[in-house]
Structures are given as C-alpha cells and as structure tokens.
Chain A
Amino acid sequence: MNFKKAISLFLIMVLTFAILSGCTGTKEQASKEQKVLRVSMALGESEWEVMKNKIFPIFEKENNVKIEAVQIEASDLITKLEAMHKAGKMEIDIITQDNMQLAQLVEKGLVEDLSEYRDMIPENVIKALIPVGEFNGKLYFMPYRPNVEINFYNEKKFNEYGIKPPTNWDELLKVAKTFKEKEGIGRVAIKGTLDGNTTVQLFEFIRQAGGDPLVLNDEGSIKAYTFLKELWPYLSPDSKKADWNTMNKYLATESVYYGANWPFGVNVIVRDGGKKEIKAHAGFAGPVKKSKVLGGEVIGIPVGSPNKELAVKFMQFLMSKETQELLVTEMGWPSCRTDAYGKVEEWQKPYFEAVKEALKVSQPRPNVTYWDTVDKALNDAFREIVIEGKDVKTTLDKYAKVIADAKK
C-alpha cells in the first residue's frame, strides 16, 4: 500500500470516529444543563404542534422543567419499555397509552401502581373512565382522553340513492342491500381483519343485542352473529382488509360509503383529503340498545421513571380542567371531565357532536387477564360463522367453552 492510500484510510477512520464520538456526547451534555421530563405520546403532526406550543409550555413554566416529547406508537410502546426495563435504564418518565393496549404493560410489570394517587382523579372525571385503568383492584392508569368510534358515511352517495344513515340493524341491512343492488358491489364495510379491530366491532354488535362477549353463547351473542352472517354477503369486499388505518382510505377513495372508525379519520379524510361529503353519526342501535366501545388514552408512569414526582405532577396537569379545555378547543378531543368545555372549530362541530353522542352509550372493555383468549375466540367465531358460514349456535358453544376454560 502506498503512503498516500494509507494516509487517506487513516484520515477516514479518524473522521469517522470523530463523528461518532460527537454524536454520542450531545445527549449527556444536554441532560446536565437542564432537568428534562420525557413524555411518550402517539400523536399526529398537528396534535404535536398543539402539545408543544400550547400545552407543554404552561407546565414547563410552572415547574421550571423542559419537556422532551417522544413519539411512540401504542403497539411499539410495550417492546420499548420492556427493553428499557430489562436494561435497568428507563428513559421515559410518563406515558399516554391507548386503553386497548394496557394489559401487557401491567402483566409485564412495566407500569407503576398508581393506587396511592387515586385521590388525584378529579371529581368531575367521567366515572366510566376510571375502571379502564384498574387491574386486579389496583389502579395503574389515570383517565386522560376518552375516545369512541363514529360511523362515517358518504353523504353524496346516500343522497344519490335516497337513503339515510342507518339507525338500527334493520336499516343497516337495508342500506347494505341497496348499495349492493344499485352498484353491484357492497359499499358498507365492517372491520373484518380478524384482530383487535374486529373485536371492537363484535363487542358493539353483541352488546347492542344484549349479550356478553365474555360469555359468547348467550342469546345476545347468538343474535349478533346471526345478524352479521346475514349482513356479510352485502358488505364491501374491503371489509376483510378494513382496519383503523385502511378504513380511512376506503372511505376517502369511495370504495366504501359507510363504515365505523376512530375520529382521527376526520383529519385524514376531511381536513387533509378535502372530502367534505364524508359525514359522521353516532352509529345505530341493536335490538336491545345502542352500545359503543369506550376507547381512548390513559396516563401511566413506567416503573423506574427517572422523574417520578414530576411525572405525577404532569399527570395531574393533564387531567386538570384548564388542560382538558385546551385539548377540546385546540384538538377537538372530547374531554375526560364533565366540567371542561371548549370551542371546537366550525368544520369539526358535526363530527365532535357525533363523538359526544357515541360516548354517551360507550362502555369500556373488561380488563381480564385472559383477554388474548377472548380476543381470539371472538374472531375465530366470526371467521367460522360469518365468513365460512358455519352454524351459529354450535360454533359459539365451542368458543364459549374456550373462554370459560380460560376464566378458570
């Protein structure tokens, strides 16, 4: 090797190591300068803007602290916290997490028991939100943000065929049949991905018929599965691929004219996509009642949080009337408090009203340790009965036994 080449190689290596050492040093320097509260949330861009510009600065000023926000999706939070927990280096002080994904955090011992802070829950918090954070009698999560699926519909298409959004099962079947008849293809969709997305919808149908999803072979459950079996041939083929994400696409691209999804779809379809003809309502009732699954987010503190005291203060701050009112006004999120009023933007109002209406009939999912079994049983029963056409009663008996065994 000649001298020139050796020097070049040496310089490249020196430069590389210089870059690397520079990259590793910055974080430590920053942490020495200021106390930092690391908050994990899963938000859209516009929501982050509100958090960073309107919500965080209030707490930062009051407590002389810098909030460092990190974006971690609900499904990734568990694995990330698990890695940090196992390494003994918890880097996150406080989390807000989807209430559909709490059981694993508790089972793996990743979150603090917050029972001693139960008194911090404000008087005016919607009472149904508290049990969502309870596991085995202990409180692990605080209420923060309620959420519920609303039913989106393409107003233009409904008007074109002279029909209205369904208010009960009979009308839902009629709407589905009308679209299929007029266009030759189903335009009503349910989420049929046979995972947590489908579970939410099955909970709603079963409860609407007066059944208990944890029993599964009661009269209500039989009615629900029987109805879904009847409805299935008239549904959009997209139903099999429709989840919380793709449902937005199907509605926006008009391959589906009617389908339920979480309200964030409003921003994607209406605000960003400009599809003003997509409206929403609170959904339909079953033979017994209206019922929706109470979703949303809760607040938790990871075990080993480096700033637990500050995290508790921040938790309290997020539940406060002022913060909740800001969340209503700036984000259009429904509040977890009954005394927090805000003014949503004009275009958001009809959707916000639909959310509020749906919340009135929403029920939380039960926090049971055998949740995975329930989830699988409900979806397997759906596949066998609704998609493959098997007998309703026999199939539900089979899966009811699976759930009953898991209960033991």
Chain B
Amino acid sequence: MMSSVKKDRLGKIIDVSFFPLLIFFSLIMLIPVYILVKVSISQPVDVLTQHPTFLIRNFTWDHWIKVLTSGKLWPAFRKSFTVATLTAIFAIIIATPASYVISRLPKKVKYIVILGLFFTRMFPNVGIALPIAVKFLKWNLMDTYIGLVLAHLIEQLPFITWILVGTFEVIPVDLEKSAMIDGASRLRALMSIVIPNAAPGIAVATLFVWLNSWNEFTYALYLSLSDNTLPLQVYYYVNRGGFFQTATYATILTIPVAVVTYALQRYLKSDYLGGAIK
C-alpha cells in the first residue's frame, strides 16, 4: 500500500517535472549553438563588450559574406563532405558482413574477436598518428582524399563493427532459419531478412562514422598540406584569432551534422523486431 503511494507520488513528480526538465536540458544544449550562430551574424559592437546582449541587436551578414567569398570555404567543405561520406560508405560495406559473421560465432570466440577489436582502439590517436602518417606519406597519400578515408577507417572500423555486432546479435537466428525453411538461400536471407531488420543499427553506425569523420582532426592535420578540411579551417581561424570568422566556420561545420542527423533519425526505431518471428 505504502509503496504504491510512493510510486504514485514519484509518478506525479515525474509528470510535473518532465517538460520543465526537458526544456531546461534542451536549452543547455542549444544555447552554445545559439551563441555560435549569434556571434556569426552580429556586429562586433554586440559581441566585443563587457556585457553582451543575449538577443541579436545589430544584425550583419558581413562575416558570412567574407567567409563565403574567401574562396577557402568550398574546397574545405568539399573535402570534409567527400571524405566523411566515403568513409561512411566504405565502413558500412566492410563492417556489415564482418559484424554479421562475428555475431554468429560461438560465444567464446566472439568475445576474443571483440576484445581484439577494442585492443586496436586502446591507443590514443595522437600516439599512433605519426607512424601512420609516415607510412601514408611513403605511399604518396599526403593531401589525397583516399589517404584521409583510409586513416579515418582505421579509427572507425573497430568501433562500428562493435556497434553492428550488437545489432546483429539481437536478430534471432530463428528468423534466418524461418526464411531458409521458406526456400531462401543464406545470402538471400541475409539481404532480405537480416539486413533490413538491422537497418536501425546500421543507420546509427553510419551516422556515427559520418559524424566522427566529419569532425576528425588529428589525421587531417598530419595528412593535409594544401587542402584543409573544415575542422582544420576552424582551427586556423582559432589560431589566427578572428572571433567572427571562427564562429561562422564553426556554424557551417554544424549545418551538415544537423541535416545528416535529421535524415537518418527516421531509421532509429526501437521496436523494429516486434512480432517478426513466426
């Protein structure tokens, strides 16, 4: 009796505080983004003061125009976008079948393989970037898209394989067996039954790889000479001290992230497997 009263109270507290808390935490996450955008479209007088205003008072496109017409944005944008997209494509092509196989291995073997995957991620990028860069330079991969894609794959493949192993593990083997009883080959069962059911996990993995590659800095720094990626451009402006161009570049950096996240979020469903087994 007492416990049900307590539960009711807790439920009421949750009901009452849910939306205020939701708004509060959303604001905490959104305010830095707002400030970034605000600085990029404000005149210096609004920003370079002891008490900057929260709202935009003196609006200007000057910083955006400067960045958009500088001739430095589009090559960096193109490089970042191409590298992130290719990294995501290759990572999915390689990691999906690998993860499926690992997920179907005997438990002990699977554990060792997954530990092996994590072992490769135990070393910080800064520590291994130099020897990797040396190797890539020997292969003439400096300042090339393929060099950066390969470097990003080193970092991303173990991570997304691990995510996808988890995804395939929860798809019951009985589902494949049922398809095969109905006459499907193993490959057909994989393509028509397993992969569609794994779509949410694959979407999450794609999203992760794309975002990680888009934001990646260390390898880009080592392997870029003439053409920067967008994070390197932001770094350049941070180093050179221009507040407004830094904010503008950083805003531009976040736009594709928002677009890609929005495009993929429709695949992120939690109850995909409900009632799938015959």
A residues near B (Cβ < 8 Å) are 1, 5, 12-13, 16, 19-20, 23-24, 27, 42-45, 68, 70-73, 76, 79-80, 82-84, 86-89, 91-92, 245, 248-249, 252-255, 264-265, 267-269, 272-275
Write out the residue numbers on chain A whose beta carbons fall within 8 Å of the beta carbon of B143. 27
Question: CB-nearest residue of chain B relative to A244?
Answer: B241
Chain B, interface size category, equals 35 or more
CB distance from A219 to the nearest CB of B (A): 38
Instruction: Let me know if B50 is at the binding interface, CB within 8 A.
Output: yes
Instruction: Let me know if B145 is at the binding interface, CB within 8 A.
Output: yes
Instruction: Let me know if B194 is at the binding interface, CB within 8 A.
Output: no
A24 contacts B130, CB within 8 Å?
Answer: no
Instruction: Let me know if B4 is at the binding interface, CB within 8 A.
Output: no
Write out the residue numbers on chain A whose beta carbons fall within 8 Å of the beta carbon of B243. 249, 252, 268, 272-273
A89 contacts B89, CB within 8 Å?
Answer: no
B44 contacts A91, CB within 8 Å?
Answer: no
A83 contacts B145, CB within 8 Å?
Answer: no
Secondary structure at the A interface, as helix, strand, loop or mixed, is helix
Instruction: Let me know if B91 is at the binding interface, CB within 8 A.
Output: no
Which candidate, B110-118, B134-142, B263-271, is the interface stretch facing chain A?
B134-142
A255 contacts B222, CB within 8 Å?
Answer: no
A20 contacts B49, CB within 8 Å?
Answer: no
* Nearest 6 interchain pairs by C-beta: A87-B137, A268-B241, A23-B145, A83-B133, A254-B50, A252-B48
A84 contacts B137, CB within 8 Å?
Answer: yes
Instruction: Let me know if B187 is at the binding interface, CB within 8 A.
Output: yes
B44 contacts A253, CB within 8 Å?
Answer: no
Write out the residue numbers on chain B whose beta carbons fall within 8 Å of the beta carbon of A19. 82, 86, 145
Write out the residue numbers on chain A whose beta carbons fall within 8 Å of the beta carbon of B225. 70, 72, 80, 91-92
Write out the residue numbers on chain B whose beta carbons fall within 8 Å of the beta carbon of A88. 138
Which candidate, B12-20, B200-208, B232-240, B252-260, is the interface stretch facing chain A?
B232-240
Write out the residue numbers on chain A whose beta carbons fall within 8 Å of the beta carbon of B45. 274
Write out the residue numbers on chain B whose beta carbons fall within 8 Å of the beta carbon of A86. 130, 134
Kindly identify which residue among B44, B146, B187, B222 contacts A83, using a CB–CB cutoff of 8 Å: B222
Please encode chain B, from 181 to 199, with 1 for each CB lying within 8 Å of some chain A CB and 0 for all others. 0000001100100000000
A-B contact pairs, 25 of them (CB 8 A): A1-B187, A16-B90, A23-B145, A24-B141, A43-B240, A44-B240, A70-B225, A71-B228, A72-B225, A73-B236, A73-B239, A79-B222, A83-B222, A87-B135, A89-B137, A89-B138, A91-B142, A92-B225, A245-B239, A249-B243, A254-B48, A264-B241, A273-B243, A274-B48, A275-B48
A23 contacts B48, CB within 8 Å?
Answer: no
CB distance from B163 to the nearest CB of A (A): 22
Write out the residue numbers on chain A whose beta carbons fall within 8 Å of the beta carbon of B137. 83-84, 87, 89, 91
Write out the residue numbers on chain B whose beta carbons fall within 8 Å of the beta carbon of A42. 239
How many angstroms between the C-alpha atoms of A44 and B236 in the bound complex? 9
Kindly identify which residue among B44, B140, B222 contacts A273, using a CB–CB cutoff of 8 Å: B44
Among B47, B133, B137, B143, residue most surrounded by chain A Cβ atoms (within 10 Å): B137
CB distance from B135 to the nearest CB of A (A): 8
CB distance from A149 to the nearest CB of B (A): 15
How many angstroms between the C-alpha atoms of A253 and B238 in the bound complex? 16
Question: CB-nearest residue of chain A relative to B126?
Answer: A79
How many angstroms between the C-alpha atoms of A371 and B157 in the bound complex? 41
Question: CB-nearest residue of chain B relative to A85?
Answer: B134
Please encode chain B, from 211 to 226, with 1 for each CB lying within 8 Å of some chain A CB and 0 for all others. 0000000000110011
How many angstroms between the C-alpha atoms of A293 and B188 in the bound complex? 72
A16 contacts B44, CB within 8 Å?
Answer: no
Write out the residue numbers on chain B whose beta carbons fall within 8 Å of the beta carbon of A253. 47-50, 52
A273 contacts B146, CB within 8 Å?
Answer: no
Instruction: Let me know if B244 is at the binding interface, CB within 8 A.
Output: yes
Among B138, B222, B235, B239, residue most surrounded by chain A Cβ atoms (within 10 Å): B239
How many angstroms between the C-alpha atoms of A273 and B46 in the bound complex? 10
A12 contacts B241, CB within 8 Å?
Answer: no
Write out the residue numbers on chain B whose beta carbons fall within 8 Å of the beta carbon of A268. 241-243
Question: CB-nearest residue of chain A relative to B221?
Answer: A76
Write out the residue numbers on chain B whose beta carbons fall within 8 Å of the beta carbon of A80. 221-222, 225
Instruction: Let me know if B261 is at the binding interface, CB within 8 A.
Output: no
Instruction: Let me know if B70 is at the binding interface, CB within 8 A.
Output: yes
Please encode chain B, from 147 to 187, with 1 for each CB lying within 8 Å of some chain A CB and 0 for all others. 00100000000000000000000000000000000000001
Write out the residue numbers on chain A whose beta carbons fall within 8 Å of the beta carbon of B226. 68, 70
Question: CB-nearest residue of chain B relative to A247?
Answer: B241
Kindly identify which residue among B149, B191, B242 contacts A1, using a CB–CB cutoff of 8 Å: B191
Kindly identify which residue among B135, B236, B241, B244 contacts A248, using a CB–CB cutoff of 8 Å: B241
Using A45-B240, A70-B226, A254-B49 as known contacts, say yes or no to A87 and B134 having CB atoms under 8 A apart. Answer: yes
Kindly identify which residue among A5, A92, A275 contacts B44, using a CB–CB cutoff of 8 Å: A275
How many angstroms between the C-alpha atoms of A70 and B245 in the bound complex? 20
CB distance from B60 to the nearest CB of A (A): 12
B133 contacts A245, CB within 8 Å?
Answer: no
Question: CB-nearest residue of chain B relative to A13?
Answer: B93
CB distance from A191 to the nearest CB of B (A): 15
Question: CB-nearest residue of chain A relative to B142?
Answer: A91
Kindly identify which residue among B44, B138, B221 contacts A87, using a CB–CB cutoff of 8 Å: B138
Write out the residue numbers on chain A whose beta carbons fall within 8 Å of the beta carbon of B52. 253
CB distance from B65 to the nearest CB of A (A): 14
CB distance from B126 to the nearest CB of A (A): 9
CB distance from A144 to the nearest CB of B (A): 19
CB distance from A229 to the nearest CB of B (A): 28
How many angstroms between the C-alpha atoms of A84 and B225 in the bound complex? 11
Question: CB-nearest residue of chain A relative to B238?
Answer: A245
How many angstroms between the C-alpha atoms of A197 and B222 in the bound complex? 25
CB distance from A18 to the nearest CB of B (A): 12
CB distance from A255 to the nearest CB of B (A): 7
A1 contacts B134, CB within 8 Å?
Answer: no
How many angstroms between the C-alpha atoms of A255 and B47 in the bound complex? 12
Question: CB-nearest residue of chain B relative to A87?
Answer: B137
A24 contacts B242, CB within 8 Å?
Answer: no
Write out the residue numbers on chain A whose beta carbons fall within 8 Å of the beta carbon of B144. 23-24, 27
A265 contacts B241, CB within 8 Å?
Answer: yes
How many angstroms between the C-alpha atoms of A91 and B136 in the bound complex? 13
Kindly identify which residue among A12, A83, A87, A92 contacts B89, using a CB–CB cutoff of 8 Å: A12
